[in-house]
Structure 1
Amino acid sequence: MRKIGLLFIGLFISLNMIAQSTSSEAKKLLDEVSSKMGAYNNMVIGFNSSLINREAGITNDPPIRGEITLSGEKYNLDYLGNNFVFDGEKLVIINQEEKEVTISNGDLEEEDGFIYPSKLLTFYKEGYIFSMGRLNNNNGRKVQFVDLTPIDSNSDIIKVQLGIDAKTKHIYKLVQIGSNGAETTFTITRFKSNQPISKNLFLFDKSKYTKQGYFID
């Protein structure tokens, strides 16, 4: 019995060491990706997003296209029929269909349990446990996934799978699985860095939209 007990203790210690090793390896990879992509002066990213919730019978096909230009904390995001402009202090949401503009202090919040494209490089830094996931081969491109599990057991997110191009160390795909059964996927389809962009891209021209009859809140 003593030998069996020692065997189980040894097995537990081994598994714990493996778990710690894969967690450390996963965080190291994420930090490397964040450091590399965060060092660019700017990034222009085209992406597709899809939402599937089989229990509710929801699936968007074809995927929704979007584009985001990032420069430090500033960004200009076209997504879901809205234009999100963040200058580092204030967030402007321009709804072109409703001709309405909403201005608020601070960035997009994640209180609704959704990871926005503007959070791709930073969302993992707080509130998650990491582990190395599967390694995929997509038409010759090796994509290493990292599995992230929220520390908060009441989180609206059950798991996040972040796919990283093993060669470029760029984010390729993000899969978010919600507690309601919904699975949201972002896939980067186009990536350019250090592009010549106008500083006005992150500024809101109030007079322009006032002249066009937008309601500004």
Structure 2
Amino acid sequence: MKVTIKMVQKLMIIAVVLFTTVAATAQDANSLLKEVSAKVRSYDNIAIDFKYNLNNKKEGVNQDTRGDVALQGENYVLNMLGTTRIFDGAKIYTIVPEDEEVTISKFNAKDDKDITPSKMLTFYESGYNAKLDIVQNVNGRKIQYVKLSPIDTNAEIKDILLGIDKQTNHIYKVIQTDSKGTKYTITVQSFKTNQPISKTLFTFDEAKYTNDGYYINKLD
């Protein structure tokens, strides 16, 4: 399975999906979801470093990488697989240094392919059945898993397991399995909140990339 730019973009979208559905979980499955969701929304911003694994035993694929994401309201900056994805509330910027290319597209709230934290929270709350799963002890931390099953039986996602640290009500691990048997696992390495961040963190500076010789691909 060769990793293409389109695959990178898809994987980055999955990461945003995971971290924003992630931004909503915890105790009897449904009350925990509301509890953690409220906690996450109380933060001014969130910065997460994570380990990412893509595994498909049938195709002999097992890939590991690391990434990080900064979230503030609906805005985010996601760095993963050598690519940066920025959402500033209006447009999505996908920056690929290897190809010296930036793709810019407008955000459309009615387009299911455009993902923001607030949209994914709504999607999550209305699109899945949730139930408590196993509890694991990880280095003294009690991790409660919640299993999410899509209501739509034709959904591409088979199920999602969210592992929640019971002490902090923060996400520790997310395991998503699709209908083709591919498993995407994100393990949180650090979860920081209310960090001092630059006012321009979620701002795309087109002149900077133009001056560096990047091709600017405007889709809209």
Specify the code of the residue in structure 1 equivalent to 2:88. Answer: D
Query: How does 1:83-98 map onto structure 2 within 5 Å?
Result: 83-98=84-99
Distance in 1 between residues matched to 2:147 and 2:74, nearest whole Å: 25
* Residue of 35, 38, 44 corresponding to 1:41: 44
Alpha-carbon distance between aligned partners in 2 of 1:45 and 1:89, rounded to the nearest angstrom: 23
Question: Structure 2: where are the runs of 5+ without partners?
Answer: 1-26
Q: Return the offset for 1:106.
A: 1.5
Distance in 2 between residues matched to 1:66 and 1:74, nearest whole Å = 17
Letter in 1 for 2:208: K
User: In the TM superposition, what are the counterparts of 1:20-169 in structure 2 within 5 Å?
Assistant: 25-60=28-63, 63-106=64-107, 122=121, 124-169=124-169
> What is the Cα deviation at residue 214 of structure 1?
0.4
**Quick one: structure 1 residues 195 and 120, their matched pair in 2 at CA, closer, same or farther if it must change by over 3 Å?**
farther
Q: Distance in 1 between matches of 2:172 and 2:190?
A: 10
Structure 1 residues 162 and 34: alpha-carbon distance in aligned structure 2, compared to 1, 3 A threshold = same
Cα distance in 2 for residues equivalent to 1:27 and 1:42:
24
Instruction: Measure, in 2, the Cα distance between the counterparts of 1:121 and 1:41.
Output: 18
Q: Summarize the Cα distance change of 1:29–1:136 in structure 2 as closer, same or farther, 3 Å threshold.
A: same
Percent identity of equivalent pairs: 44
**1:94 partner amino acid:** I
1:111 Cα deviation from its structure 2 partner = 5.2
TM-score by length of 2: 0.80
Shift of 1:156: 1.0
Cα deviation 1:118-144 (Å, max 9, x = unaligned): 689725223111111111111100010
Deviation at 1:59, TM superposition (A): 0.6
**Aligned equivalents of 1:137, 1:197: Cα separation in 2:** 34
CA distance in 2, matches of 1:172, 1:119: 20
- The CA RMSD over aligned residues, in Å, is 2.3
1-side partners of 2:119 and 2:53: how far apart? 16
1:66-101 Cα deviation digits (max 9, x unpaired): 000111111111012111111111111101110100
Count of aligned positions: 189
Q: Contact 1:27–1:130 at 8 Å: present in 2 too?
A: yes
Q: Give the 3 Å change call, closer, same or farther, for CA 195–107 of structure 1 in structure 2.
A: farther
Give 5+ residue unaligned stretches, structure 1: 1-23
Distance 1:120 1:167 in 2: 27
Amino acid at match of 2:181: G
Name 1:201's counterpart in structure 2: 201
Secondary structure of the residue aligned to 1:171 is: strand
Counterpart amino acid of residue 37 in structure 1 = V
Q: Which has the larger radius of gyration?
A: 1
Structure 1 SS opposite 2:192: strand
Deviation of the 1:206 alpha carbon: 0.5
